[in-house]
Each structure stands twice: as structure tokens, then as C-alpha cells.
């Protein structure tokens, strides 16, 4: 009889703990989602100048190029992958802005090419099928992802002519938000 009471008490305690954990998880998830939603559509200016970390990537011809090769011109640095839905959503805006402002701003669209889920051939085919004309680079060694601590994509950095990160945006951007970030680095 006491074993049965003990089992019932332990089971009841376990149910209470699970319900409490579930409520806490739900609460934290909602607040995190709310915070993420706030940052996804806004360009976040940096409080002070931060030198843009340099890294090496491959261009469409397979040549190694460094981000530092582009210092002197404002840079829009975007990390993306062809399997990423939010990345796909923002690409038409990037293509439009690159066509409009490509002579004033370097658009560096860096594909996170891990060789498994994302390959150079797959990313190149995706760009070709969509008809995008912006320049594409490949982070095959994930140097850029490491240098910028990329944990989720898309993420975009706005770098001024001096090579300083002036702002960034995590998540998919609308074209007007992209323009706001570009205006920040063109105003320098």
C-alpha cells in the first residue's frame, strides 16, 4: 500500500514539474520570438565603429578573394544559402539594389557552402535559375561564417569605406530596410 502511495505521489510531482517546465518554455519561446521579430525587420546600427573582420572566399571563377580587397567602397555583406526560405525572400530586393547601386556599393553575397547541404554547383544553379545578377561568393571553408559568428541566416552587414561595420540586420529584409542600411554607409 505504501509503495502505491509513493508511486502516486512521485507521478503527481512529475506531472507538476512537467507542467511548470512546459509553461516556462512557452513563456521563454514567446519572449524570444518577440525579440527576434523586432530585430528581423530593422537595421541595427553599431554603437561604435567596429573593424569588419577579414576573411577569404571564392568568387564565381574559383579565385580566392578577401573581404579587405573591397575596402574603399561601401560594402553590403550578406550571408545566405539556397535552402534558406528567408534568404530566398530577400534576394529580389538585393538583386534590384545591386542593379541600381552596384557602381557605388559592393554587394558581396556570400553563400555558406558547406559541401553537404549547400554546394557551389547547387548555389550557382539556384542563382542562374532565378536570374539574379549580383555577384556571388562562396565561403567553402566557412571562414566568413566563423569570422562573423554566423549562427542563423540570412544576416547582412553594412560596412563603410573605412572597413568598419556600421550596422547589421538579422533575418530577412524588405527592400526599404536594405535601402536604409545602404544609406547609412553611403552617407559616410
pLDDT in tens, 95-112: 999 999 999 999 999 999
Question: Any residues with CB less than 8 A from the CB of 175 and at least 6 apart, and which?
Answer: 92, 93, 96, 97
Higher local confidence (pLDDT), 182 or 45: 182
**CATH number reported for the structural domain that contains residue 180 in this entry:** 3.40.30.10
Place of cell 547541404: 117
pTM (2 d.p.):
0.76
Residue 132 domain boundaries? 42-186
Q: What is the pLDDT of residue 79?
A: 98
Query: Residues 99, 112: one domain?
Result: yes
Query: Residues 57, 29: one domain?
Result: no
Question: Are the CB atoms for 126 and 82 separated by under 8 Å?
Answer: yes
Query: Residues 147, 121: one domain?
Result: yes
Place of cell 550557382: 124
Q: How far out from the chain centre does Cα 91 lie? A: 12
Query: Residues 99, 162: one domain?
Result: yes
**DSSP SS3 for 101:** helix
pLDDT, tens digit (0-9, with 9 covering 90-100), for 112-152 = 999 999 999 999 999 999 999 999 999 999 999 999 999 99
Number of structural domains the chain divides into: 2
Q: What is the pLDDT of residue 188?
A: 67
Amino acid at each position: 500500500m505504501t509503495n502505491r502511495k509513493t508511486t502516486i505521489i512521485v507521478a503527481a510531482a512529475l506531472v507538476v514539474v512537467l507542467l511548470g517546465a512546459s509553461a516556462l518554455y512557452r513563456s521563454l519561446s514567446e519572449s524570444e520570438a518577440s525579440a527576434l521579430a523586432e530585430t528581423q525587420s530593422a537595421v541595427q546600427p553599431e554603437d561604435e565603429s567596429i573593424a569588419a573582420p577579414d576573411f577569404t572566399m571564392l568568387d564565381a571563377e574559383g579565385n580566392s578573394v578577401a573581404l579587405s580587397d573591397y575596402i574603399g567602397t561601401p560594402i553590403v555583406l550578406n550571408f545566405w544559402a539556397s535552402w534558406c526560405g528567408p534568404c530566398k525572400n530577400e534576394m529580389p530586393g538585393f538583386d534590384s539594389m545591386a542593379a541600381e547601386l552596384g557602381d557605388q556599393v559592393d554587394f558581396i553575397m556570400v553563400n555558406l557552402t558547406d559541401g553537404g547541404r549547400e554546394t557551389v554547383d547547387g548555389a550557382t544553379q539556384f542563382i542562374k535559375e532565378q536570374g539574379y545578377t549580383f555577384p556571388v561568393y562562396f565561403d567553402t571553408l566557412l571562414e566568413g561564417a566563423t569570422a562573423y559568428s554566423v549562427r542563423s541566416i540570412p544576416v547582412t552587414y553594412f560596412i563603410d569605406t573605412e572597413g568598419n561595420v556600421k550596422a547589421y540586420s538579422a533575418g530577412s529584409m524588405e527592400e526599404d530596410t536594405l535601402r536604409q542600411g545602404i544609406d547609412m554607409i553611403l552617407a559616410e
